[in-house]
Amino acid sequence: MKTTKISEAVVRRLPIYLRYLTHLHHMNVKTVSSQKLGDILDINPAQIRKDLAHFGEFGRKGIGYEVDYLIEKIKQILKLDQEIHVALIGVGHLGHAILNYNAYLKENMKIVAAFDVDPQKTGEVVAGTTVYHLDQLGDIIEEKAIRMAIITVPAEAAQEVADRLMQTRIKAILNFAPVNIKARDDVRVHHTDVTTELQSLSYYL
């Protein structure tokens, strides 16, 4: 199933498709056309067909996509058919917000441990997740079979945290700190930050 050279743009659209397909599933809708998907998601239907065609022949002429089947396939492509344990590092305001959001994470994805350098926060439980001291990072990641990490520390600490994570089994990092993180080729880092989001939106004003 693993197909190489799929662009990041395609990979970023798959969860969007999955979210709406899951909504359709809950509405008991059985099939959907790329036209309808495109209308709702504001994406060109030809783009949707092309995106999905990278992974196989999922649609049928005149019928469209079978909702449940496509959900299952996208989950497989995104490896969401496995349970994925996530760590969060940095229990400040944003860290708190994301931990509170944990209940909404779906598709077998769960934040199972949080970390902070502040010893006062160690042992705290935020929205069901225990906060450990950063020094326990390696041990807990091993113990809880954690595969992904979310960085919500201040900018000046982000690279050091990333370096520590790269000494563990972690292969995917979502960085909220407003700084570019350098990582080895075998570790995938996505950056997300409010400032750059707002700045790119500003272009359209």
Phi and psi at residue 40, in whole multiples of 5°? -70, -40
- Identify the three-state secondary structure at position 84: strand
Complex with its own copies: residue 39 or 135, whichever CB lies closer: 39
Positions touching its own copies (CB under 8 A) are 6, 8-9, 11-12, 14-16, 18-20, 40-42, 77-80, 84, 86, 92-94, 96-98, 100-101, 104-107, 109, 147-148, 150, 171-174, 178-180, 182, 188, 190-192, 194-205
Rounded Cα distance, 118 and 138, in Å: 17
CB of 86 to its own copies, least distance (A): 7
Rounded Cα distance, 121 and 12, in Å: 34
Complex with its own copies: residue 23 or 60, whichever CB lies closer: 23
**Residue 135 DSSP code:** G
CB of 174 to its own copies, least distance (A): 5
Q: What is the largest CA-CA distance in the chain?
A: 61
CB of 135 to its own copies, least distance (A): 25
**Which of 61, 59, 54, 46 minimizes the C-alpha distance to 78?**
54
Rounded Cα distance, 107 and 81, in Å: 7
Complex with its own copies: residue 40 or 63, whichever CB lies closer: 40
CB of 11 to its own copies, least distance (A): 5
Complex with its own copies: residue 109 or 117, whichever CB lies closer: 109
